[in-house]
Amino acid sequence: MGLAKAIKAPAKIEALLQGYIALEQVYYALDQGQAELEQATGRPICIDSCGKCCQVTTPVISDIEAHYIISTMVVMPGFNSIINRALDWLVFKHQGISSNGNRNLLQKNVDLLSSKQCPFLDDGMRCTIYGVRPLVCRAYGISINADEWCPRPLHWTEAPNKRMTVGKNTNMGRRLSGLLNNLHISYCGFLPHLVARLAVPKKFKDLAASGKVADAKLAIGKSKPDLFHNAIG
DSSP string, 19-52: HHHHHHHHHHHHHHHHHHHHHHHSS-SS-TT--H
Q: With CA atoms as reference, report the closest residue to 186 among 4, 12, 24.
A: 12
**CB atoms inside a 10 Å sphere around CB 141:** 22
Q: How many CA atoms lie within 13 A of 131 on its CB side?
A: 7
**E strand or H helix that includes residue 64:** helix 63-73
Handedness of CA 20, 22, 24, 30 (dihedral sign): negative
The pLDDT of residue 165 is 92
Handedness of CA 180, 182, 187, 190 (dihedral sign): negative
- pTM as predicted: 0.88
The pLDDT of residue 232 is 42
Phi-psi region of 215 (alpha: psi -120 to 50; beta: other; left: phi over 0): alpha
- Pairwise CA distance, residues 201 & 205, whole Å: 6
With the CA atoms of 222, 19, 88 and 114 taken in that order, what torsion angle do they form, in degrees rounded to the nearest 10?
Answer: -50
166 burial (CB, 10 Å; 0-12 / 13-18 / 19+) is buried
Q: How many residues does the chain have?
A: 233
Average pLDDT for consecutive 10-residue bins of the chain (233 residues)? 50 83 93 94 92 95 94 91 97 84 79 94 95 93 93 94 90 88 86 96 94 90 51 44
Q: What are the C-alpha distances in Å from 226 to residues 15, 159, 180, 199? A: 22, 27, 10, 26
